[in-house]
Chain A
Amino acid sequence: MSVLEVRDVDSGYGDMQVLHGMSLDLHEEEIVCMVGPNGAGKSTVLKTVFGLLEPWSGTIRLDGEDITGMAPEDLVRRGMAYVPQVDNVFPPLTVEENLRMGGVAREDPGPVIEELYERFPLLDEKRTAKAGSLSGGQQQLLALARALVVEPEVLLIDEPSAGLAPTIVDDVFEDVRKVNELGTAILMIEQNARAGLRISDRGYVLDQGSVEFEGNADTLLEDPKVAELYLGG
């Protein structure tokens, strides 16, 4: 069953339309990877789903309920969380404070935050450090952890591996997979398309604001046309 359903969504910035009849599904317990060239509109999909952009038309459903145009602060309370591509931590706040901000939508976030410290010892060591002083990889981890404080049913992640050293990229993907194993459905954007698809169940290839290819991750990885056009041969 679809936990997240995007149907025929048009969206954009000001007068500029970016998404043209965008549709996708995220099923329970799945990892779905969205790939596509720069400027294809991948981030715009997540921003529209999460209420940061008002869709021009189309519908978005969470657990079968219409959430089209609903505000981000309300979506968090309905079990969805989002890690933006950039500016995804509060630099002047400490690691601890960032995590607490992730927990404002729930009662008693303390125990979950402690669990997250156990899962990510790196953050545990940096509790009182300002987020702005962390390395890129540490910030990415903090951004992920912040989104997990609400224990979301659906998690949207925009390019978790962007700007990270290759050695850490695998760690981040491993973390994403672990989150998924604990029962969270994940819709992820990945610039690093092959690596992203490899840990995913299904994939969508986006180009110029609509879906060009979709299918099982393995099928997409083996499709010569997809490989030639979108996976760099």
Chain B
Amino acid sequence: MVDFDPQLVADGLVYSSIIVLGSIGLSLVYDIADFPNFAHGDLMAVGAFGALAVHGSLGFPFPVAVVTGMVIGAVVAVLTNRVVFEPMDAGPLELLIASIGVALIYRAALMQRFGTESQSYDVGGQAPIDAAQETLGIAINVRAVAIIAVTLVLVGALHAMLQYTSLGRQMRATSANPSLARVSGIRTDRVVTAMWVIGGALAAAGGVFLGLHTLIRPRMGFDILLVLFAAVILGGIGSVYGAMAGGLVIGMVHELTPAIPVVPTRYNTAIAFVIMILILLVQPSGIAGGKTSA
């Protein structure tokens, strides 16, 4: 039914990278704070515009701008939690509603500072790589390769951190049983802050990459939010590894839609949801089987 087209796979990997980076933070927040954070997409946009300001206005090299964008994402995430979510000390529904308000505030601030026009990073790298054209027969540019490569590095670093560092183990312990974590002596408030930092930084990186792959717009993150939710739910809510797997699948499906005959390409987001529902029918707790972030 679906013809194997390496071009679509390449496109899928780029889109998946962006979704994976966004999904991880969404899943972490779901895990530790127990609510779907509707501001997470707009946090991606904050990161994208942060990098734009550092690169475009201040003239720093692009890699520096990406890292700065990630720092901005982390700081904004932590501050939002400290100023809004934590003091509310409320249930999931209240926090969800509040997060919609936070999303609107992020977006309004971006529009006020940067306007509503679409913008792009002035970094080149848009011409297809000849070697890829000749050997694989696909049109892929340096930007796309960089997005995939950096995402792999970030995801690999997160995995190493979770498995082999004390903070990572404390994060997994806190996610498995917060009260036993405190009983063991873990300062869970610090662990929670670390999770917001990681989620915020990765979201910002995803935002920058989305801006690099398409355009930078204040609505960019909000538009991708539903796809992120699909990835997180598919992976198994609250599981980091599930979010990675779910992001990969959803991103792929999203870009492979053109290969399905009859179905118009603009149904790609709908198809992603259909796939999500089909997989959940078979495996109701998601790909990671409802396990925590271990």
Contact = CB atoms under 8 A, between A and B. Distances in A.
Interface in B156-190: 166, 169-170, 172-173, 176-177, 179-188
Contacts of B176: 90-93
Contacts of A97: 169, 172-173
Interface in A104-156: 104-106, 146, 150
A100 B166 contact: yes
Interface string A52-74: 10000000000000000001110
A206 interface: no
B292 interface: yes
Given A76-B183, A84-B180, A104 B172 contact: no
Nearest to A100: B169
12 contacts: A50-B183, A52-B179, A73-B182, A76-B184, A76-B185, A89-B180, A90-B173, A90-B181, A92-B293, A93-B173, A100-B169, A150-B185
A146 B181 CA distance: 11
B286 to A, nearest CB: 15
A101 B170 CA distance: 7
B182 A71 contact: yes
Interface of B: 166, 169-170, 172-173, 176-177, 179-188, 291-294
B180 A93 contact: no
B294 A104 contact: no
B188 to A, nearest CB: 7
Which of the listed residues A77, A84, A92 has the most CB atoms from chain B within 10 Å of its own CB? A92
A73 B33 CA distance: 19
Contact of A90 (B180, B185, B291): B180
A222 interface: no
Nearest to B190: A73
A101 B184 CA distance: 6
A168 B200 CA distance: 48
Contacts of B294: 92-93
Contacts of B172: 90, 92-93, 97
Given A72-B182, A76-B184, A97-B172, 15 more contacts: A76-B185, A84-B180, A87-B180, A88-B180, A92-B176, A92-B293, A93-B294, A97-B169, A100-B166, A101-B184, A101-B186, A102-B184, A105-B185, A146-B184, A150-B185
A60 to B, nearest CB: 16
The 7 closest A-B pairs by CB, nearest first: A105-B185, A92-B294, A76-B185, A72-B182, A90-B176, A101-B184, A90-B173
Q: Tell me whether chain A's interface is mostly helix, strand or loop, or mixed.
A: loop
Contacts of A88: 180
Contacts of A92: 172, 176, 291-294
A204 interface: no
Nearest to B182: A72
B185 A104 contact: yes
Contacts of A102: 184-185
Contacts of B184: 76, 101-102, 104-105, 146
A97 B174 CA distance: 13
Nearest to A150: B185
A91 B186 CA distance: 16
B292 A73 contact: no
A113 to B, nearest CB: 13
A102 B291 CA distance: 22
B186 A82 contact: no
Contacts of A87: 177, 179-180
Contacts of A150: 185
A2 B28 CA distance: 44
Contacts of A104: 166, 170, 184-186
A90 B183 contact: no
Contacts of B179: 52, 72, 84, 87
B177 to A, nearest CB: 6
Contacts of A90: 172-173, 176-177, 180-181
Nearest to A76: B185
A107 to B, nearest CB: 12
Contacts of A89: 180
A175 B180 CA distance: 22
Contacts of A106: 185
Which of the listed residues B169, B180, B188, B293 has the most CB atoms from chain A within 10 Å of its own CB? B180
Contacts of A73: 182, 185-188
Contacts of B173: 90, 93, 97, 101
